[in-house]
Structure 1
Amino acid sequence: MAEWLFEAGIGEQRAALIDDDGHIIRARIAVDGGGPQPGLIASARLIERDLARLDTGEDITLVRPPAGITLGAAIRVEITRAAIPEPGRPKPPRGRITDAPARPAHTLRESLIDAPVRELRTHEPDALEAAGWSEVLEEALTGDIAFPGGMLRFWPTPAMALFDVDGDPPLDALAVRAATAVAAAIERHNIGGSIGIDFPTLAGRDARQAVAAALDSRLPQPFERTAVNGFGFMQIVRARAYPSTAELLRSDPVGAAARAALRQIERTPASAPNCFRVPPKVRARILAHPDWMAAIVQRTGRTPIFDA
């Protein structure tokens, strides 16, 4: 039976849905201080026709500009999409006006309701790592995703997430394997919005339909897609409430590396040396967060020494 592995880390919560073979189906990360999250209902004021400002200071793009509400009016807003990090100009959170009472957003742990949850402890064997956690993070950071006989290259762009397929002939079989791999990657990395896939150019309608059928059989609904066109391109549209793991990690690779280093430190046995080699930028990021340092001292009983 599939189960969620959940870890309340320092600076982030992390979870992975594991299948019966111990492989990661979905990887999810919730970074502390990530801003308003979907499901939050909070007080705000309308500051522009399509923009509200929460009482806590964050600006929210409104899905439907309100009618009959004057600028400056007090309103309540429900967050429907978290902020999406993008180079140069991040997309702010999105929301809608509501009459519902205020409520907090669910935490990552509270959202894991579709399978049993196993909460991990640092003194136990590292079940996340055994399932391939580091490999999933490497996929997100590099965009290189291997599959039998081929490789996907993935780029999150402001317009859409893009997959390019490379691999060994015959191309019809390669494209079918790639479709299955793309579907798995979309689910694993929580990729939503508009998604483009550049398959090899396929000769014949039957070959293109086989690729579409392979993707349909692996990618959970709901989503919409086009057919594979004569140039091998397919577009998929999925609901998007959160940034993908790639967007989270690539938008702040130093922060991601710092939180990963703290995870490693937390799991280091007390009998092991207390000196850790980390890059200077990672060291500086950790030391810039007194709450992270306090947490690692509380959890391990000692103050780590960093050797840059």
Structure 2
Amino acid sequence: MPEWLVEHGIGEDRAVLMDGDRVLAAKCRWPGELYAGQSIDAKLVRKEAGKTRGLGELADGRTILIDRLPRNAQEGATLPLTVTRGAIAERGRYKLPAARPADMATPASDVFASARPVRRLPQGVWEDAWDAASSGEIAFAGGSLLFSATPAMTQIDIDGTLPPRELALAAVMPLTRALRWFDLGGSIGIDFPTIADKPGRRAVDESLGAALADWPHERTAMNGFGFVQIVARLEGPSLLHRMATARLGAAARMALRRAERIDGAGETLLTIHPALSAKLRPEWREELVRRTGRPLQVQTDPALAIEAAHAQLVSR
């Protein structure tokens, strides 16, 4: 049976759904973030009379959107809430986290709490999903998927050398796998190659429907230009969105992970792009030393790509 595994990393928790040696889905959470299903208390600081929406303030000063408020809710009252969506940074704007009164929210399971904790995820499992999100591209036989996170929707373009119908059908399985790998939600636009005949478009619709049968969503039929829109529940930033809006932070966390996974004695030498230096918080460096039991030396190399941090052991 598929099983969720969770790796509690430095500055990041990583969860993957494994079926044997196959990754079915992946999720990422950064400590301190509000997440869907979390129980919190917030003071109602703004609400228009008769409306069911308002703004709340947490004890640490963060602001949260609240919907489904009772019409008689009073400003200044402290309310028990359940988070329905974490905060999402987008290019040019910031979406506040959202919540509902606890008695109006549908209970949500927390994968990170229920997954089996492991010291390390299997070799290559997290790297495959992370590298795909970082590059924004997944290749498959005869073509590739190109991902772009925009404020309006996540756009997926399909390109390749196969005839349109064959290319579209070949893209279905890697596409549906990527949706789960990246933990995508919200509005997703898929630009398939243009298929002139209705039977061809219907075949792609049926294949896509079968592949996504166990993934809650709504979907349009393919139009004459090959476009399909999917809408799925959005609970927080996807791995793809983190790469688009917090690339340095994501790369810094991966650099620490690479250093932590090295076994042996000596000193850890972590070589990074200079842009990552400020992202390696002092407490993260201290945690890496504690976990590995080795001193840490960090050096910078402007010739390295941001994502290409390198860790090795050196003699003390």
Instruction: For 1:109, give the aligned amino acid.
Output: F
Q: Is the 8 A contact 1:5 1:15 kept in 2?
A: yes
Q: Tell me whether 1:91 sits opposite 2:95 in the alignment.
A: yes
Q: Is the 8 A contact 2:65 2:97 kept in 1?
A: yes
Q: Which stretch of the first structure deviates more once superposed, 49-58 or 258-267?
A: 49-58
Q: Tell me whether 1:215 sits opposite 2:208 in the alignment.
A: yes
Q: Tell me whether 1:70 sits opposite 2:79 in the alignment.
A: no
Aligned to 1:41: 39
Matching residue within 145, 157, 160 for 1:152:
145
Matching residue within 199, 204, 222 for 1:206:
199
1:157-306 pair list within 5 angstroms: 157-219=150-212, 220-271=214-265, 273-286=267-280, 289-306=281-298
Q: Is the 8 A contact 1:193 1:239 kept in 2?
A: yes
Instruction: For 1:120, give the aligned amino acid.
Output: R
Q: Tell me whether 1:56 sits opposite 2:51 in the alignment.
A: no
Secondary structure of 1:72 counterpart? coil
**Matches of 1:266 and 1:273 in 2, distance apart?**
12
Q: Deviations 1:257-277 (Å, cap 9, x if unpaired)?
A: 111111111122233553221
Aligned residue pairs: how many? 292
Q: Is the 8 A contact 2:265 2:294 kept in 1?
A: no
Instruction: For 1:305, give the aligned amino acid.
Output: Q
**Matches of 1:221 and 1:283 in 2, distance apart?**
39
Q: Tell me whether 1:109 sits opposite 2:112 in the alignment.
A: yes
Q: Is the 8 A contact 1:47 1:71 kept in 2?
A: yes
Q: Deviations 1:177-214 (Å, cap 9, x if unpaired)?
A: 11222211111111111111111111211111111111
Q: Tell me whether 1:29 sits opposite 2:24 in the alignment.
A: no
Q: Is the 8 A contact 1:175 1:211 kept in 2?
A: yes
Q: Is the 8 A contact 2:55 2:63 kept in 1?
A: yes
Instruction: Please list every run of at least 4 consecutive aligned residues from structure 1 whose deviation after the TM superposition is greater than 4 angstroms.
Output: 105-108
Secondary structure of 2:93 counterpart? coil
Q: Deviations 1:95-115 (Å, cap 9, x if unpaired)?
A: 112358xx9x97653143xxx
Q: Is the 8 A contact 1:15 1:28 kept in 2?
A: yes
**Matches of 1:204 and 1:182 in 2, distance apart?**
22
Q: Is the 8 A contact 2:267 2:294 kept in 1?
A: no
CA displacement at 1:155 relative to structure 2: 0.9
CA displacement at 1:243 relative to structure 2: 1.5
**Matches of 1:74 and 1:136 in 2, distance apart?**
40
**Matches of 1:74 and 1:276 in 2, distance apart?**
46
Instruction: For 1:149, give the aligned amino acid.
Output: G
Q: Point out where structure 1 has 5 or more consecutive residues left out of the alignment.
A: none
CA displacement at 1:66 relative to structure 2: 4.0
**Matches of 1:276 and 1:290 in 2, distance apart?**
14
Aligned to 2:19: 19
Q: TM-score, length-normalised on structure 1?
A: 0.87
**Matches of 1:277 and 1:248 in 2, distance apart?**
22
Identity %: 38
Q: Which stretch of the first structure deviates more once superposed, 218-227 or 67-76?
A: 67-76
Instruction: For 1:230, give the aligned amino acid.
Output: G
Matching residue within 127, 135, 140 for 2:128:
135
Secondary structure of 1:174 counterpart? helix
**Matches of 1:93 and 1:128 in 2, distance apart?**
34
Greater strand proportion: 2
Q: TM-score, length-normalised on structure 2?
A: 0.85
**Matches of 1:218 and 1:272 in 2, distance apart?**
49
Secondary structure of 1:194 counterpart? strand
CA displacement at 1:65 relative to structure 2: 4.9
Secondary structure of 2:90 counterpart? coil
Q: Deviations 1:95-146 (Å, cap 9, x if unpaired)?
A: 112358xx9x97653143xxxx36134xxxx6142x3x22321221221111
Instruction: For 1:298, give the aligned amino acid.
Output: R
CA displacement at 1:284 relative to structure 2: 2.6
